[in-house]
Amino acid sequence: GCILDGKLYPFGEIARTENCFRCSCSQDAMRCCSLFHTPVGYDKEGCKVVFNKKTCDYDVVQKSDPSKECVVYSRV
């Protein structure tokens, strides 16, 4: 298998790792891509970015009230 972040994964396709990546594990390499997109267009003064491991995505919330979401204009 392959080791990623100290955890052993079997050969083949891994749909979702603990850290929200989709990977392919073979004898010669492990290739991964993220399941999330990083927010870049949002109110950086009044909002902050928080990673949500449950949904494998970033939440953008108000700094003054983290229970309220901010509008995100673009992600990469």
List the pLDDT tens digit at each of the 76 positions of the chain: 999 999 999 999 999 998 999 999 999 999 999 999 999 999 999 999 999 999 999 999 999 999 999 999 999 9
24, 14 in Cβ contact below 8 A?
A: yes
Class of the CATH-defined domain 39-75: mainly beta
Domain borders along the chain are 2-34, 39-75
Helix (H) or strand (E) holding 21: strand 21-25
* Rounded Cα–Cα distance for residues 2 and 56 (Å): 21
* Cβ atoms of residues 4 and 17 within 8 Å: yes
Predicted TM-score (pTM) of this structure: 0.75
